[in-house]
Structures are given as structure tokens and as C-alpha cells.
Amino acid sequence: MKKHNFSAGPSILPQEVFEKASQAVLNFNNSGLSILEISHRSKDFIAVMEEAQALALELLGLTGKGYQALFLQGGASLEFLRIPYNLMKENGKAAYLDTGTWASGAIKQAKAFGETVVVASSKDDNYNFIPKGYEIPTDIDYFHCTSNNTIFGTQMKEFPKTDAPLVCDMSSDIFSKDIDYSQFSIIYAGAQKNMGPAGTTLVVIKEEILGKTGRNIPAMLDYSQHIAKESMYNTPPVFAVYTSMLTLQWLKNLGGVEAIEKMNETKANLLYKEIDRNPLFKGVAKAEDRSLMNVTFTLNNEEHQPIFDELWKAAGISGLNGHRSVGGYRASIYNAMPLESVQVLVDAMKELENKI
Ligand code: PMP
């Protein structure tokens, strides 16, 4: 039986994507070849790369606005380094917002590189809220934030205004809602939540911001070189890009980010409502900063844990345990998660209440 997969990433993808990707492993485009054995320089794969790039820009509303989409490797973690390399001038400065483990990972890489100001942090409260009302220095090369904090279950609902290029790690909420993506100069996201399997990172770049640091950038770290080579500077992760393209096609057919945002809100509301109603549970993140993607919650009484764990496991739920730094539970309800699966979780929570 297919499980209800609440994993934080790699995570659930649409069932039709699993089916089409499986078919392509056996026989890609009726070519008599597997997607796993074709050349990345073949006509068929170049068409896949081009469609994946075009769909990414289209779904973000960035077509024809001076942006390039790249499918790179090294995870979002390598972008933590590529960003300062490409944007921070010699003796320059960057500003970061510290909203979680991944944000602080990005800060660490930037600090090793040059002057890095942390404008605000919620670390002292174990990152259970998004800092607000901070000031961004004006003499910076860029400002970096993390739109959704996968581990803690918080999400930025607004982004600061700054004249500096705005850079955002959207690994865990890209393509999940309809916002003005043109406010960002760089958006990056590991594929393994809302887009595809692990193995590729989508990087969307406003081209005009590149080439201003005066630095000699090693080729694999240089966004301009990846753009010049049409995202094929080296062999791209063919299967991850293909599967990402299938997911982006699925999202487009569904009505794009506007349509999925409504569905994501419905799913998250259903679950948060139960967390707030059910006296056995409480939410981890501050209500105003709650994420639509990763719902973190705990039991009020730890003694109930073995009974609840048995209930949700028996209901066919997988991947519900919270991250070790938060504890409790985390329900990751990405784009591909059906409402019915969220209902199964809510039913298990109600069942616990009936049993106690
Ligand atoms: N940023 C965020 C918001 C994440 O959730 C993650 C991974 N879960 C990362 C960065 C790191 O991504 P990767 O493992 O692809 O390097």
C-alpha cells in the first residue's frame, strides 16, 4: 500500500510523476533507450533541459524579465558558497537574516568569505518565529534570506525592501504560492521538496547582477559560465532534471502557483485547526509565522507518544517525526501532498483524543 509520506525531503512527488519517470527509465520517448543511458547532448535531452528551464521561469512569472534558470549540482548547500563568490565584491559586504539551521549554514559560508552582517536572528528562541522590524544596511552587495524554514516550520510572509539584490533560499517552498518573484535577484532551491528527486538545484538568476565583483571565479562556481553553457557546463543530472520537468508540467496543468497556493492553504488550515482545537497537541511555530509547507507540533504530554505513534503508523503514515533539534512531529505537506492524506493525519489525532 502506498504510504502517506510526510517526509521533509526527499519527499512526496505527484503519483503521475512517479509513473512517467518510471516509464522513462525503461523506454524514454519510445527511443528504445532508458533516460539513464542517453547522452546529455542528445536532441531529446536538450529539449528536456530547455522545457524544464522555460517552465521554471513561466511558473514563477519571470519569463522575458532578464532571468536565467539553471539546474546545478551540489545541493542548496553549494549555493551557500556560490552566492558570495558571485555577488560579494573584494572587500565588500553582505547582510543575512538568520531564521534557522539552513540560514545559519548560509551565513557561515558567507562569513568565511567576507564581511557578513546578521541583521536579526531568532536563534535564542530555537527559531520559532521570523524576526521583523530589522534594518538592512545600505552599503551591502546583497541581502540573503530563507523563505521557509524546513526544520522549524516557519515561513516568511513578507520580504524586506532593499536596493541591494535580494537573494532567497526557497528550497522548501518554491512553486508553492503566488508571490511577486521579480523582487528577487537570485532564487535557489534544492529539487527534493517541491520539484523532483534529490540531485539538482534550481537557481534562477537576474542576469544583470552578475559580473560585478572583479573576482576570478572558479568555473564550476561561476554562474556566468553555467549560463553561457546553457546549464551543461558539465554533465547535468539528467534524471533529476527530467523528473523535475515532469513535476513542473504537472503543476502547470493544475493551474500553476495560484491554484496550488489555494490547495496548500486548505491543507495547512485543516491541520493547524486540529492542532489548535485538540487539547493533546500544541504548535511549535508562532502562529503568525506558521509555514504552509512544514507543520511542526508536539504532544502536551509525552506519555501519549507511544500511543500516538502507533496510531499514525497504523494509518499508513510515514515520515512524521520532528527534526532532532525540535523534537515532536513535523508534517511536511508539500505541493504533491493530497488533502486526503492530511485528513488521515487529522483523523489519527482525533483518534488519540478519543482513546485517552
Ligand atoms: N535550505 C533549506 C531551506 C533546506 O530545507 C535544505 C535541506 N533540507 C537546504 C537548504 C540544504 O539543501 P541540500 O541538502 O540540497 O544542500
pLDDT, one tens digit per residue, over 47-96 is: 999 999 999 999 999 999 999 999 999 999 999 999 999 999 999 999 99
What is the chain's Cα-based Rg? Answer: 21
ipTM summary value = 0.99
What is residue 333's predicted lDDT score, i.e. its pLDDT? 98
In a domain, residue 70? The reply is yes
Counting ligand 1 atoms within 8 A of each CB, the residue from 77, 107, 186 with the most, and so the one to mutate, is 77
Q: Which residue carries 533541459 as its cell?
A: 49
Please provide the average confidence, as pLDDT, over all residues in the chain.
97
CATH of the domain at 74: 3.40.640.10
Give the end of a domain, one of 204, 231, 254: 254
Residue closest by Cα to atom 14 of ligand 1: 75
In a domain, residue 172? The reply is yes
Ligand 1 atom nearest the C-alpha of 148 is 3
Question: Which pTM was predicted?
Answer: 0.98
Provide the domain count of the chain.
2
Percent helix, strand and coil across the chain, each rounded to 5? 40, 15, 40
Same domain for 267 and 221: no
316 and 344 Cβ atoms separated by less than 8 Å: yes
The predicted-structure confidence for 118-139, as pLDDT tens digits, reads as follows 999 999 999 999 999 999 999 9
In a domain, residue 6? The reply is no
Ligand 1 atom nearest the C-alpha of 147 is 3
Range of the domain at 24: 15-254
CATH of the domain at 310: 3.90.1150.10
* 185 CA to centre of own chain: 17
Catalytic residues: 102, 169, 193
Cell of 342: 492530511
Q: Could you tell me the pLDDT band of residue 239, with boundaries at 50, 70 and 90?
A: very high
How many A from CA of 94 to the centre of ligand 1?
20
